Amino acid sequence: MEGERMASLTPDTPCSCDCFVSVPPASAIPAVIFAKNSDRPRDEVQEVVFVPAAMHAPGSRLQCTYIAVEQVSKTHAVILSRPSWLWGAEMGANEHGVCIGNEAVWTKEPVGEEEALLGMDLLRLALERGSSAQEALHVITGLLERYGQGGSCREDPMPFCYHNTFLLADRTEAWVLETAGQLWAAQRIREGARNISNQLSIGTDISDEHPKLRAHAQTQGWWGGQGTFDFAQVFSLTQQPVRMEAAKARFQVGQELLRQQQGRITAEVMMGILRNKESGICMDSGGFCTTASMVSILPRDPTQPCIHFLTATPDPSRSVFKPFIFGVGVAQAPKVLSPTFGAQDPAQTLPRFQTQVDRRHILYQGHQVALGLMESEQVPVCSSGGDGCGRGLDAARGSPAPGGLGPPRGCISPALPSPLPGRLPTVQTVRYGSKAVTRHHRVMHFERQKLMALTEYIPPKFAIDPRCLPPPPSPPQEVLSSGFQLMVTLCATEQNTG
């Protein structure tokens, strides 16, 4: 019987994700810090979607990925990182400072291929309806009880189904929610650091649970009914597949990385953990990889805004985390929206997923171009000061920067003439494995990040007193509603100027 439940777990099954949270005093600042790597099929595109708060008519229905559910009267504004073919999300946050990430998990409870709510649907529904981590948890468990979870979780004719675990955080605390079918157990984290990685991790420290959880385990013969009840031990598969054993190793490494930084955890530390390739946390193996990443800072002071950093591109070690803050006038950044295909979408037509479509958004395409240049070693040596310039692809193509500002300062390339007057050529040395960009205090163009990660910046010397030079031209004025939209616009500029 257990072998049948594991039938869908082939050696190439993409079943790896990692979520992290730090609650003071583990954090270096008075804030909860949340982070997630979403590991999905290599060619899958994740888009970043902003959905404003809304009011809904009584009795209205909401279409999720596969099924429709009853809509509530009011939904919160959310920012989501999601596979572009489905309705739900792999990770996201809402206007009240609630963040959620999910993980695939397989237990002794059978996984059904019948279409129901995906774990990613549950995640988005919880963000839209929950104003705290605990309230969002109750949203998920209530929907599980009513609609169940099931259906294929990837864009492929071969069904790929799993149950889910969730890490939920807000400004004050975090919760781990682990499910087995419609059953579940939850653990509250009031302080310290915690991570989850594609396996059951709640043992005897259960803060809340499904009312029939223990009775069901006893009926199935998994627990004798006496003594300590260990959720992970009772519901985990007896024979773990190879990929889940790998998840166990990642979970242990993640624990150790958090332990080493106890009391000093910041957003930069979390970004460094998400970029860790040696442990497999930054996944790049076989048919799948880390397709998107997210880090959030949730200050305990309610007067301070929460800041959410999202990549919208694969491989956090070669991507920039772009900031997003909820506020008045926030709007969707169009360059991270995938194209839509309406009724012709292979995810909507039956049978599903019989054809493939190109879902790449503008930023994703620019990211692929940049990676191709880097891998072919065609990116010019570049350094830059604190002037916020550094559009690597413009330099590589010899094209002017947007607004006619000319080449970036300090860039040296065969495609460009000498540096701007008053600047001497700079000297470059290689610095392997640098995380220089995570220590920068100003936003950086994603091309500059990649170049700075491979070069050591040595400031140029002024050949002429700067006071003798004309002032630099003013950049074109453009109204952007958020830091995230600004960063996306900068990152995607090459598609318009190339």
Angle, helices 242-260/267-274, rounded to nearest 10 degrees: 150
pLDDT on residue 453: 56
- Contact between residue 165 and residue 181 where contact means Cβ atoms under 8 Å apart: no
**For the segment 30-45, what is each residue's pLDDT rounded down to a tens digit?**
999 999 999 999 899 9
Go through 311-327 and write b for each residue having 16 or more CB atoms within 10 A of its CB, e for each that does not.
Answer: bbbbbbbbbbbbbbebe
Q: Of 170-179, 260-269, 327-336, 469-478, which range is least confident?
A: 469-478
Give the tokens for residue 388: 């916020």
Choose between 193 and 423: higher pLDDT: 193
What is residue 384's three-state secondary structure? coil
Question: In this model, does residue 485 exceed pLDDT 70?
Answer: yes
Percent of the chain residues past pLDDT 90, beyond the cut? 63
Report CA-CA distances (Å) from 133 to 26, 37, 75, 325: 19, 20, 15, 19
Collapsed DSSP state (helix, strand, coil) of residue 43: coil
- Does pLDDT of 340 surpass 90? yes
Average pLDDT over residues 193-216: 96
Of the pLDDT bands very low, low, confident and very high (cuts 50, 70, 90), residue 287 is: confident
Query: What mean pLDDT value characterizes the chain?
Result: 82
Question: Is residue 306 annotated as a catalytic residue, yes or no?
Answer: no
In this model, does residue 240 exceed pLDDT 90? no
Most confident region among 172-176, 226-230, 463-467, 494-498 by mean pLDDT:
172-176
How far apart CA 383 and CA 381 sit, in angstroms, is 7
The pLDDT assigned to 113 comes to 81
Q: Looking at the predicted structure, is the pLDDT value of residue 168 above 90?
A: yes
Q: Does residue 228 have a pLDDT over 60? A: yes
Instruction: Return phi, psi of residue 95, to 5°.
Output: -65, -15
Which of 97-101, 334-338, 363-367, 384-388 shows the lowest mean pLDDT across its residues?
384-388
| Placement of tokens 């890490």 in the chain | 167
What's the CA dihedral at 125, 131, 132, 136 to 10 degrees?
A: -20
Query: Half-sphere exposure of 189 toward its Cβ, with a 13 Å CA cutoff?
Result: 28
pLDDT at residue 469 in the model: 76
Of 56, 44, 52, 59, whose CA–CA distance to 120 is shortest? Answer: 44
Catalytic annotation, pick one of 15, 17, 99, 306: 17
pTM > 0.85: yes or no: no
DSSP state string for 302-354: TTSPPEEEE--SS-GGGSPPEEE---TT----GGGPPP--GGG-TTTSSSTTS
Least confident of 99-103, 339-343, 355-359, 404-408: 404-408
Q: pLDDT band for position 414 (50/70/90)?
A: very low
Neighbours of 356 (CB within 10 A): 10
Q: Please indicate whether residue 127 or residue 286 has the higher confidence score (pLDDT).
A: 127
d(CA 9, CA 234) in angstroms, rounded, equals 20
- Is residue 5's pLDDT more than 70? no
The pLDDT of residue 407 is 31
Tell me, what's the pLDDT at 427?
35
pLDDT band at 498 (very low <50, low <70, confident <90, very high): low
Per residue in 155-164, pLDDT (tens digit) is 998 888 999 9
Task: Please count the other Cβ atoms lying within 10 Å of the Cβ belonging to residue 287.
Answer: 10
pLDDT confidence of residue 495? 52
Length of the chain: 498
| Residue 46 pLDDT greater than 80, yes or no | yes
Please, what is the Cα angle at 28 between 267 and 176, to 5 degrees? 65
Rounded to an integer, what distance in angstroms lies between the CA atom of residue 52 and that of residue 46?
19
pLDDT at 390 over 80: no
DSSP helix/strand/coil, 14: coil
Q: Does 2 or 270 have the greater pLDDT score?
A: 270
Output the pLDDT for position 85. Answer: 96
pLDDT at 472: 75
The pLDDT assigned to 14 comes to 45
DSSP string, 49-71: EEE--EE--TT-EEE-SSSEEEP
- Asked whether residue 239 carries a pLDDT value surpassing 90, the answer given is no
CB 410, CB 426: distance < 8 Å: yes
Find residue 460's DSSP bridge partners: none
Does residue 9 have a pLDDT over 70? no
pLDDT at 233 over 90: yes
Distance CA 351, CA 349 (A): 6
- pLDDT for 447 equals 60
Is residue 418 over pLDDT 60?
no
Task: Give residue 490's pLDDT.
Answer: 72
